[in-house]
């Protein structure tokens, strides 16, 4: 296959989080029951938490999906259920049902809950985007949302992506509604507000592009190092790792290593590895692609495992099986970026992860 043009790859990665929200509506094939799982699972094999971002509707209604989450993972992230628009649809209304369901599920199955996300420039309800208040009112809006959400889950959610995707690809601070209304230091105050609400929770900055955009990565590292030097309560850095088969293993490893050099805890927070780089509508998942994907997953996990144990927060894939990936909805094309296939059977990518863990 020809390499994906740089512009197309950048557009795909730039749009990832916005498109992830459409995952609930993407048609998926009828499920099939998984085979009896072998004795080895990801959660058993790994010396750090292994997680998945989950679709709450699928968790409730699709037995095969739920079974994999229970069996394989000891950390879960809400794909959409803890975003601003889902939790706080109007100024005086919070809707906790789906997020509470995930927390209860995790408690029942001895899994950690990672909160995603408190402040992001997307997934905002109309009452926020049209909010008429002055600077003080906007500050109160942000503080109230953060502290209400974090307090609701205090002692139940281990960590939060406090701020998500604050940078453009050119390394400039994104001109989001938060920056427009609250100035460039809204990020630091968001961390302070979250820490006040739950001093025990680990607090992360989360973003994409570390493995392919040196300019952006430098800006992110400068931010987190600045927050640390000022005594702002930041504990971790999330590398989304929505990546592709054409990203060199050395680039993947370097991204992980440079994040660890901050001294913060590192989370591979939204891992998937796209294989149909040209978006070919007739593409199929060949044995050669499966082998290449296996090698790439193995390389990512090996690089993460090489970090000091105290800095390994864990690895989270962005959803569970290929039928549920945001990538297909974005490109309107076949792709197979996850370690489980459409029927939640283990792929060679899964074997690559386990090999790296041993």
Summarised one tens digit per residue, pLDDT across range 60-103 is 999 999 999 999 999 999 999 999 999 999 999 999 999 999 99
Residues with active-site annotation: 165, 270
In-domain check, residue 31: no
Q: How many domains does the chain have?
A: 1
Q: Is the pLDDT of residue 164 over 60?
A: yes
Cβ contacts of 274 within 8 Å, gap of 6 or more: 12, 242, 243, 244, 245, 327, 335, 337
In-domain check, residue 12: no
In-domain check, residue 316: yes
In-domain check, residue 298: yes
Summarised one tens digit per residue, pLDDT across range 209-227 is 999 999 999 999 999 999 9
pLDDT of residue 20: 47
Which token pair is 1? 């296959």
Q: What percent of the chain has a predicted confidence (pLDDT) above 70?
A: 90
Domain of 71 in residue numbering reads as: 47-357
Domain containing 190 — which CATH number?
Answer: 3.20.20.80
In-domain check, residue 285: yes
Region for residue 60 given its phi and psi (left: phi exceeds 0; alpha: psi -120 to 50; beta: otherwise): alpha
In-domain check, residue 1: no
Residue 114's φ and ψ, nearest 5 degrees, are -105, 125
Summarised one tens digit per residue, pLDDT across range 31-60 is 333 333 477 999 999 999 999 999 999 999
In-domain check, residue 34: no
Model pTM score: 0.90
In-domain check, residue 3: no
Classify residue 301 by burial, with Cβ atoms within 10 Å: 0-12, 13-18, 19+.
buried
Instruction: Give me Rg for the CA atoms of the chain.
Output: 19
């Amino acid at each position: 296959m020809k390499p994906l043009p740089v512009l197309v790859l950048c557009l795909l990665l730039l749009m990832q989080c916005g498109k992830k929200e459409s995952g609930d509506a993407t048609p998926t094939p009828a499920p099939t029951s998984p085979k009896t799982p072998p004795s080895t699972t990801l959660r058993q094999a790994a010396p750090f938490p292994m997680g998945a971002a989950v679709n709450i509707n699928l968790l409730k209604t699709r037995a095969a999906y739920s079974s994999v989450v229970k069996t394989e993972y000891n950390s879960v992230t809400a794909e959409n259920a803890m975003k601003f628009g889902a939790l706080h649809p109007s100024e005086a209304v919070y809707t906790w049902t789906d997020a509470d369901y995930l927390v209860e599920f995790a408690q029942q199955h001895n899994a950690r809950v990672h909160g995603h996300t408190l402040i992001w420039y997307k997934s905002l309800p109309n009452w926020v985007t049209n909010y008429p208040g002055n600077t003080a009112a906007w500050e109160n809006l942000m503080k109230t949302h953060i502290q209400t959400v974090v307090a609701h889950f205090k002692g139940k959610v281990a960590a939060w992506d406090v701020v998500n995707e604050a940078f453009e690809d050119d390394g400039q601070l994104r001109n989001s509604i938060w920056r427009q209304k609250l100035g460039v230091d809204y990020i630091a105050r968001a961390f302070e507000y979250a820490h006040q609400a739950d001093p025990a929770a680990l607090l992360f900055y989360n973003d994409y592009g570390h493995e392919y955009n040196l300019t952006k990565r430098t800006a992110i590292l400068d931010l987190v190092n600045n927050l640390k030097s000022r005594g702002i309560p930041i504990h971790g850095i999330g590398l989304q790792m929505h990546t592709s088969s054409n990203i060199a293993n050395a680039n993947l490893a370097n991204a992980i290593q440079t994040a660890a050099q901050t001294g913060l805890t590192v989370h591979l927070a939204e891992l998937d590895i796209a294989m149909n780089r040209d978006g070919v509508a007739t593409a199929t998942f060949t044995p050669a692609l499966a082998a290449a994907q296996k090698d790439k997953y193995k390389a990512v996990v090996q690089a993460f495992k090489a970090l000091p144990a105290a800095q390994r927060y864990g690895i989270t894939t962005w959803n569970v099986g290929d039928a549920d990936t945001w990538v297909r909805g974005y490109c309107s094309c076949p792709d197979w970026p996850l370690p489980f296939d459409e029927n939640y059977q283990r792929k060679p990518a899964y074997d690559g992860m386990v090999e790296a863990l041993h």
